[in-house]
Chains A and B, each alone.
Chain A
Amino acid sequence: MEPFVTLESVAAPLPEAGIDTDVIFPARFLLLLDRAGLGRHLFHERRHARPPGSPPFVLDRPPHDRARILVTGPDFGIGSSREQAVWALADFGIRCIIAPSFGEIFHANCFRNGLLPVTLPPADHARILAEAEAARPLVVDLPAQTIRLAGGERIGFAIEPHRRQALLEGLDEIALLLREDADAIGAFEARQRAQRPWLFLTREQLSHFDDLTETPANG
């Protein structure tokens, strides 16, 4: 995973409330099997199905078309757990999203992909949104946990220590678990198997599936 340390960019303002992952990445594109290139379908309807006469979507308009930061309204990324929403944002070039609140699964998915979701209280969020609208660049400084405005003002933000660490070092959480916690997992499993054996399916139970047949290969 690409480390996240500091990021300097203009921020694209998208102050709508409750943008769900169906809007970020419409379901019909979930049929694609690869993670690469999903940025093409980011906010697909918002970008490509504009009412006649309306200006292009904010991410298609200079200078915000080069934005690596997105400033949204509350409850960004609610709804479906599709990680494609995060992959599409990342593929488009977005590395940081600033909002008053996030959908929880989306929020967790961000960290797995080197994206920094920043939650800010309303007053700070309004300041940042104004900067975004004026297209003044921001500097997101993860080690310092601040966002620096063009005028020099700094706005602090909170982040879980282990997630901060993972972003800073570009850590792969799965590799880390396998390296550091494999013994603990094995020990827990053995203990649970003795104490709550019904949580582990027996061969006999699994034989319920012995008669499963595959569908003929196609596709």
Chain B
Amino acid sequence: MQTELAMGQGAGTLYDKIWDSHVVRSYADGTDLLYIDRHLVQEVSSPQAFAGLQARGLPLRRPDAHLAVADHAVPTLHRDRPLREGLAARQVARLQQNARHFGIPYIPMHDRRHGIVHVIGPELGFTLPGATLVCGDSHTCTHGAFGALAFGIGASECESVFATQTLRQRRQKRMRIRLTGSLPRGVTVKDVVLALIARIGIAGGAGHTIEYAGPAVEALSMEGRMTLCNMAIEAGSRVALIAPDERTLDWLRGRPLAPQGDRWAAAVADWRRLRSDPDAAFDREVDMDISDLAPQVSWGTTPEDCAPVTGHVPDPAAVSDPVRRRRMEQSLAYMGLVPGTPLRDIRIDRVFIGSCTNARLEDLRRAAQVVRGRRAAPHVRAIVVPGSAAVRLAAEAEGIDHVFREAGFEWRDSGCSMCVAMNDDRLAEGERCASTSNRNFEGRQGKGGRTHLMSPEMAAAAALAGRLTDVRDWA
């Protein structure tokens, strides 16, 4: 039966195959009604969606397709205590109430399954190849690492998924990014994706779904693939995909919500078709050899404002397009940087190792390797925020928390934390941070805060040096 299914799909891209198997109906104007298999629900984008559902007097169509967790607003300290009275406490409590009312599982912050939506979805096996998965959060593209068609939506669209389990969408164009070569020493997949965004721009993937392919993608761990897909939205693309392979299956097998027994076998048979056919047509192709990359850091206020750490703060005077020049001047003014300054001379105040981009076990292990036996610079305040409780517990079992604590870093509980600064973890005005998160927008880590994006290894090294530094000098 499964082979019949596989044969029925015809030639096409991975994206089209998943799309085609989720079309409820097509409309005359070329849009499709897409069935949504899975919905991750967090506290920030859901209260208005739940309220809308309630105002309509509607039930939630399929409670078994949703999973709720509060990750953005939760504190990363004192998790055994009730939340301090205030807006965050109210928002978290509201999610818990809504989940109870509508009958969907809610994972509270004290639970061993807690974490950032995009970390726990895969951990639990909630994320599956070939599934459509949404969340009221733009980094939902992360789940594409498993070959899930996953994308971020707004609150009104969340309400549509609650009420109908569907979304009316237009198919996007297809872009393939082929990565070749192998990672040089001290260079990570984070550097690859930052360099890629610097090359194609913050709108480089707009209107397209990105499929990452090529030997360098196949060689990546699942954690690395998640980091790669996570930042597709920073290139303007809502969807990123990587074809599932043996590594994907090995990672998912036995996860609590992954199919078991006969269902697993049937699923795997179906997932075998989840790759772009050799003759599949892409609207755009990008090739990138990663062999000569250097570690990257951002200097501006969009993720495309990145350069090799060996470089300098760029000079707006050298930019001919007036809109871009103005933008660069504004970025540098906000960042408090002078053109021509070597990036390695930039002194930092804070370090944040965390977020759905780079707070998985592999990230923490690699950052810990850099700090082992060393100390953070005395003026630097560094925090490590594991992406989930499971990551935290696994890291603690390996003694990684000790390595960080010994080096003067703070070891916290899971959540979004200083990636978005909705809890107490935030930069003060003018503070400068080496961060493993995904956005260096103005005010992202706190009003007036200045963010430099980089890999976990680079952030760890920056903490030791007290300034931006080349991790290759610390090996």
Nearest-CB residue, chain B, relative to A201: B64
Of the listed stretches B176-184, B262-270, B337-345, name the one at the interface; the rest are far from the partner chain: B262-270
Contact: A198 with B90, CB < 8 Å?
no
> A78 at the A/B interface (Cβ < 8 Å)?
yes
Residues of B within 8 A of A217 (CB): 93
The answer to whether B206 touches A104 (Cβ under 8 A) is: yes
State how many angstroms separate the Cβ of B130 from the closest Cβ of chain A: 8
- A185 to B37 CA separation, bound complex (whole angstroms): 12
Query: Does A26 make an interface contact (CB < 8 A)?
Result: yes
Q: Is there contact, CB below 8 Å, between A196 and B89? A: no
Residues of chain B lying within 8 A (CB to CB) of residue A160: 29, 31, 170
Any A CB within 8 A of the CB of B128 = yes
Q: List 25 A-B contacts (CB under 8 A).
A: A17-B324, A20-B441, A22-B443, A27-B444, A33-B47, A33-B91, A45-B442, A73-B323, A74-B323, A82-B44, A83-B48, A101-B203, A112-B154, A162-B168, A174-B52, A174-B56, A174-B160, A175-B56, A178-B58, A178-B163, A189-B165, A196-B130, A198-B267, A218-B83, A219-B86
Query: Measuring CB to CB, which residues of chain B are less than 8 angstroms from any residue of chain A?
Result: 5, 21, 24-25, 27, 29, 31, 33, 35, 37, 44-45, 47-48, 52, 56, 58, 64-65, 72-73, 82-83, 85-94, 96, 100, 105-111, 113, 124, 128, 130-131, 136-138, 152-157, 159-160, 163-166, 168, 170, 202-203, 206-207, 233, 236, 238, 256-257, 259-260, 263-264, 266-267, 270, 302, 323-324, 326-327, 330, 420-422, 439, 441-444, 447-448
Asked if A86 and B154 make an inter-chain contact with CB atoms under 8 angstroms apart, the answer reads yes
A184 beta carbon closer than 8 Å to chain B: yes
The answer to whether A31 touches B88, judged by C-beta atoms less than 8 angstroms apart, is yes
Contact call A215/B108, Cβ cutoff below 8 A: yes
A72 to B82, CA, bound (A): 44
| A5–B161 CA distance with the chains assembled, in angstroms | 28
Shortest 7 CB-CB distances between A and B: which pairs?
A219-B89, A112-B156, A198-B259, A31-B87, A109-B154, A83-B154, A219-B90
A209 to B238: give the CA distance in the assembly, Å: 30
- Contacting residues, chain B, for A32 (C-beta < 8 A): 87
Contact of B443 among A26, A112, A189, A195 (CB under 8 A): A26
Interface centre among A23, A49, A78 (most CB of B within 10 A): A78
Q: Is the CB of B326 within 8 A of A196?
A: no
B156–A109 touching, CB < 8 Å: yes
Any B CB within 8 A of the CB of A60: no
- The number of residues on chain A lying at the interface, defined by a beta carbon within 8 Å of a beta carbon of chain B, is 70
Docked-complex contact A198 and B128, CB < 8 angstroms: yes
A30 to B44, CA, bound (A): 6
Is A103 in contact with B441, judged by CB distance below 8 angstroms? no
Mark contacts of A142-174 with chain B using CB atoms, 8 A cut-off: 1 yes-contact digit, 0 otherwise: 000000000000000000111000000000011
A75-94, CB < 8 A from B: 75, 78-83, 86
A196 to B9, CA, bound (A): 14
Chain B residues whose CB sits within 8 angstroms of the CB of A201 once the complex forms: 64-65, 257
Contacting pair A216 B31 (CB below 8 A): no
Interchain CB contact under 8 A, B29 and A162: yes
The answer to whether B236 touches A104 (Cβ under 8 A) is yes
Contacts of B302 in A (CB 8 A): 18, 20, 78
Whole-angstrom CA separation of A101 from B201 in the bound complex: 13
- Which residues in window 87-145 of A have CB below 8 A to B? 101, 103-105, 108-109, 112-113
Instruction: Give Cα A161 to B88, complex, Å.
Output: 40
Contact of A218 among B93, B128, B326 (CB under 8 A): B93
Known contacts A30-B44, A83-B156, A196-B270; 17 additional CB pairs below 8 A are: A15-B323, A22-B442, A31-B44, A45-B448, A75-B203, A75-B236, A81-B136, A181-B164, A189-B35, A197-B266, A198-B263, A200-B64, A201-B64, A201-B257, A209-B105, A214-B108, A218-B85
